[in-house]
């Protein structure tokens, strides 16, 4: 079915009159009749019953009508569809993040995108540790990732959207829990619960750096798959853990005491990352939404 045949059939079906349909399409009635007849021959089925006074659709015509209307509408909207995609108002963006410590960031972002860009589909992939998120962005499996990285490869761009204080998670009853702040040096003899390590794993790297500054190597006894599990292990007495203020604020941790670090190390930056060569308009619309939501922290990382 050619688009002109579809237009002619839809006009006749909606007007139920060849004269009015021809006037609507600004064509002669004979040309309109030929077009409908050609469509019927190509489909080997009669679509329209006509007399000099009235027009009705056959069962085949009734079945075809909604599909023909959809074709005509799609063709008529093609320029609009292309314009929407070019401006980033439609498309798909896949975002990975580590829940629940970043849910408070992702939730408002998703709401803003729904309100400002209703045609854009945001696909959320949760429970994504930072180093895994980076790997999947580089592999093209994610368009963006939200996480914590001190160092990023040159082909990844990022913007800072929040900063978090580093904290120590202690089991209830730990002697140091009575203090208002805990020195890293005082934890030299403690066992540690850590998250998986790797070149882009900011939290384990921070632990080793802080410990090295005061002259010891952390005794790691447990590697937890995520922050929630690490707090369960801390509460059970397996050790202490280096964590961040958002974990304290957003993950329920019965049996755990959180204390600031006396040395006041630099904050941990929460970043939104994407491939530097990704020119997707939809992606950059999401970046703009993120910066609009977090104007205090938002800043492009150096190239």
Question: What topology is assigned to 3-76 in CATH?
Answer: Arc Repressor Mutant, subunit A (1.10.10)
What pLDDT is stored for residue 303 in this prediction? 41
What pLDDT is stored for residue 296 in this prediction? 58
The whole-number average pLDDT for the span 196-212 is 88
Question: What topology is assigned to 87-163+268-300 in CATH?
Answer: D-Maltodextrin-Binding Protein; domain 2 (3.40.190)
- What is the 3 state secondary structure string of the chain? CCHHHHHHHHHHHHHCCHHHHHHHHCCCHHHHHHHHHHHHHHHCCCCEEECCCCEEECHHHHHHHHHHHHHHHHHHCHHHHHHHHHCCCCEEEEEEECCCCCHHHHHHHHHHHHHHCCCEEEEEECCCCHHHHHHHHHCCCCCEEEECCCCCCCCEEEEEEEEECEEEEEECCCHHHHCCCECHHHHCCCEEEECCCCCCCHHHHHHHHHHHHCCCCCEEEEECCCHHHHHHHHHCCCCEEEEEHHHHHHCCCCCEEEEEECCCCCCEEEEEEEECCCCCHHHHHHHHHHHHHCCCCCEECCC
Could you give the percent of the chain with pLDDT greater than 70?
A: 93
Q: What is the pLDDT of residues 24-68, one digit of tens each?
A: 999 999 999 999 999 999 999 999 988 767 788 999 989 999 999
**Every domain range in the chain assigned CATH 3.40.190.10:** 87-163+268-300, 166-260
Considering the domain 166-260 in this protein, what is its CATH number? 3.40.190.10
Q: What is the pLDDT of residues 243-261, one digit of tens each?
A: 999 999 988 899 999 999 9
What pLDDT is stored for residue 300 in this prediction? 53
């Amino acid at each position: 079915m050619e688009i002109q045949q579809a237009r002619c059939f839809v006009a006749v079906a909606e007007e139920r009159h060849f004269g009015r349909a021809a006037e609507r399409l600004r064509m002669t009635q004979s040309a309109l009749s030929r077009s409908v007849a050609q469509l019927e021959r190509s489909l080997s089925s009669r679509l329209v019953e006509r007399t000099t006074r009235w027009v009705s659709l056959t069962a085949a015509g009734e079945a075809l009508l909604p599909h023909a209307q959809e074709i005509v509408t799609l063709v008529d909207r093609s320029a609009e569809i292309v314009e929407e995609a070019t401006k980033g108002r439609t498309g798909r963006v896949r975002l990975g993040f580590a829940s629940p410590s970043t849910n408070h960031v992702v939730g408002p972002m998703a709401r803003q995108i729904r309100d400002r860009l209703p045609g854009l589909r945001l696909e959320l992939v949760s429970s994504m540790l930072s180093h895994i998120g980076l790997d999947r962005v580089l592999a093209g499996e994610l368009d963006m990732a939200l996480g914590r990285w001190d160092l990023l490869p040159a082909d990844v761009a990022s913007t800072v959207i929040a900063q978090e204080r580093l904290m120590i998670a202690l089991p209830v009853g730990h002697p140091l829990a009575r203090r208002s702040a805990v020195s890293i040096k005082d934890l030299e003899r403690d066992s540690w619960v850590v998250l998986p390590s790797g070149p882009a794993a900011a939290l384990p790297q921070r632990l080793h750096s802080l410990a090295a500054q005061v002259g010891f190597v952390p005794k790691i006894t447990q590697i937890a798959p995520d922050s929630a599990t690490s707090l369960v292990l801390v509460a059970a007495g397996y050790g202490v853990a280096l964590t961040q203020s958002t974990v304290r604020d957003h993950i329920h941790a019965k049996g755990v005491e959180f204390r600031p670090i006396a040395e006041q190390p630099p904050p941990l930056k929460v970043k939104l990352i994407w491939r530097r060569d990704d020119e997707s308009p939809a992606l950059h619309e999401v970046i703009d939404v993120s910066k609009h939501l977090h104007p205090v922290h938002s800043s492009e990382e150096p190239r």
